[in-house]
Amino acid sequence: MSTSTTPKSVIVTGGASGIGLTIARHFASQASKVAILDLNPSTGNSVAADLAAEYPQATITFHKCDVSSWHEQAQAFALVYVTFGRIDIVFANAGIAEGMSNALATINPEAPEEPNLKVVEVDLHAVINSVKLAIHYMVKNEVAGSSRGSIICTASDAALYPFPVGPIYSAAKAGVIGLVRSTAPIVEEHKIQINTFAPAALVTNIIPDPELYKHMVVTPMSTLIKGLRLVEDPSINGQVGEIHDDEPTVRDPPYNFVSEGSRHNAEKSWEMFKAFRAATGNA
């Protein structure tokens, strides 16, 4: 599925700023149909209008959506499908940070405080829902080349390396990588690809204080665009594209089994699951 020749119908969650806006702009430049899902209607409508003016051959729509709500996401996807006629690419990108209120580093000597898990709702639960909806609509597509569609989920390099600043954020993003790797064999049978970006420090509003970037090695947004080869190549599935420095890195192999026993169990469990579904008529 190439992003460079044929216009596509694209959904970008969190598409009104940062990484999502960069992705939306890229596909708008390819005269694609781009649906931006975001929480802030003022910003979202303004961004959609600006992109439509900048790229008049593209079709840009904005849909107010709290991605942590299954109902709102399902409504938005349904409307996009009716409007565009198909959904080719989904970027499950919307995310929030833990901020500086690190729940696990905060000690209350009187009584333990329940951690705020909103970051898990947005950065993991919402991504699961986006993936479910993407699969639902992509299986309706005719196969173009060797693909029905492509799903990209935004994780983080905080899912790959220790990130004590935000352990719950790190856990949510690690969950995204686990989701993608484990869903890849499922969607492959439908000729759909799912991969994940793991960005390093890109300048976005997820970091509340821009001054913090002065102390970091910042990855340019151009590296993110280079990472879109995960969409272009339908043979790439279940991979992590680490977005860093000037060139993205696709980890190949994405993981190594510690023993042949571990490999056998992973592969055999999938075989048995498929056999069970076939026997029960759920294949």
Question: Which residues are identified as catalytic?
Answer: 169, 173
- Tell me phi and psi for residue 182, to 5 degrees: -85, -20
Amino acid at 110: E
Q: Which residues pair with 178 in a beta bridge?
A: none
Element (H, E) at 37: strand 33-38
Query: Would you state the structure tokens that stand for residue 176, as one six-digit string?
Result: 């995204």
Residue 118, both tokens: 């909103």
Beta strands 240-243 and 89-92, pairing class: unpaired
Sheet holding 59-64, edge to edge: 59-64, 33-38, 9-13, 89-92, 149-154, 192-199, 240-243, 249-250
